[in-house]
Amino acid sequence: MPAPIVLHYWPTPNGHKITIALEEMGLPYEARLVNIGAGDQFRPDFLAIAPNNRMPAIEDPDGPDGQPIAIFESGAILQYLARKTGQFCGRTERERIAVDQWLMWQMGGVGPMAGQANHFLRYAPQMDPPQVLPYAQDRYRNEVGRLYRVLDGQLATRRFAATNDFTIADMAIYPWAAGWERQEQTLDDKPHFARWLDDCASRPGVQRGMAVAAEARSAAPMSKEEMELLFRQR
């Protein structure tokens, strides 16, 4: 039995990408909580493996050549785990290119844009004094909608984002897309996207991954201290 992968994690969409991957791939792992509202991401031991002070990060005692390795950035972690297991990354070179393409589409598009939509639609209005910025709200809401319509078009001709199989591209997109209501989106004009959300949500590995330490994250509004810590970094 190989030593477990240590996952530095908080139950957010970027964290869920990796719990889903580890569950779907059947890799043993231990999730160590990085409470980003309490500032755990600034602890020297975490910064030593994730200098960008963002989770997720992993430490794999059985890395390349059997030597330990630490990795940050969720897309890089997904690609590493897919290469390590030979799973969820496409069967042919054409499929692998499609998987990388949709993974990068998530990393450069959906993640940052939906993150900003969440910020301006949900968090900024809760600040003291409230920051309600209609231009920013419209811009990020519209851009997220545009991205989901692009995905809807793609899903008209294949079951999952990159291929007819579930891949690391779906693992990256799903945890963000599952928050479509919070991002003030509609499914009415996106039937294929709606079908894909259901297909992903029905997978036991996705369900287990989304549930890891769900109780650690409070549904209550963020405190002033948490907002200060997360939103005023320089």
Ligand X SMILES: N[C@@H](CCC(=O)N[C@@H](CS)C(=O)NCC(=O)O)C(=O)O
Among 40, 73, 165, 199, binds ligand X (CB under 6 A): 73
- Residues 149-208 binding ligand X (CB under 6 A) are none
Distance of alpha carbon 29 from alpha carbon 85, whole angstroms: 14
Query: Is residue 230 near ligand X by the rule CB under 6 A?
Result: yes
37 touches 11 (CB < 8 A): no
Distance of alpha carbon 186 from alpha carbon 194, whole angstroms: 9
Which residue's CB is nearer to ligand X, number 73 or number 143?
73
Among 16, 19, 25, 41, binds ligand X (CB under 6 A): 41
Tell me how many residues contact ligand X (CB under 6 A).
12
Which residue's CB is nearer to ligand X, number 7 or number 36?
36
Query: Is residue 36 near ligand X by the rule CB under 6 A?
Result: yes
Which residue's CB is nearer to ligand X, number 106 or number 152?
106
Task: Report the candidate in 121, 128, 116 with the shortest Cα–Cα distance to residue 223.
Answer: 128
Which residue's CB is nearer to ligand X, number 46 or number 88?
46
Using the rule CB under 6 A, give the single segment among 51-59, 62-70, 177-185, 220-228 that binds ligand X.
51-59
117 touches 140 (CB < 8 A): yes
Among 32, 40, 47, 53, binds ligand X (CB under 6 A): 53
> Token pair 């963002």 is at which residue?
54
Query: Is residue 14 near ligand X by the rule CB under 6 A?
Result: yes
Residue 16 has phi, psi (to 5 degrees) of -65, -30
Distance of alpha carbon 209 from alpha carbon 203, whole angstroms: 10
Using the rule CB under 6 A, give the single segment among 48-56, 87-95, 145-153, 161-169 that binds ligand X.
48-56
Q: In what order do the strands lie in the sheet with 5-9?
A: 29-33, 5-9, 57-60, 69-72
Using the rule CB under 6 A, give the single segment among 53-61, 130-138, 140-148, 215-223 that binds ligand X.
53-61
Q: Is 18 exposed, middle or buried (0-12, 13-18, 19+ CB in 10 A)?
A: buried
68 touches 59 (CB < 8 A): yes
Q: Are strands 29-33 and 5-9 parallel, antiparallel or unpaired?
A: parallel
Shortest distance in whole angstroms from residue 203 CB to ligand X: 21
Among 19, 74, 118, 183, binds ligand X (CB under 6 A): 74
Work out the widest C-alpha separation in the chain, in whole angstroms.
Answer: 54
Which residue's CB is nearer to ligand X, number 122 or number 159?
122
Among 7, 20, 55, 147, binds ligand X (CB under 6 A): 55
Query: Is residue 16 near ligand X by the rule CB under 6 A?
Result: no
List residues near ligand X by CB under 6 A: 12, 14, 36, 41, 53-56, 73-74, 111, 230
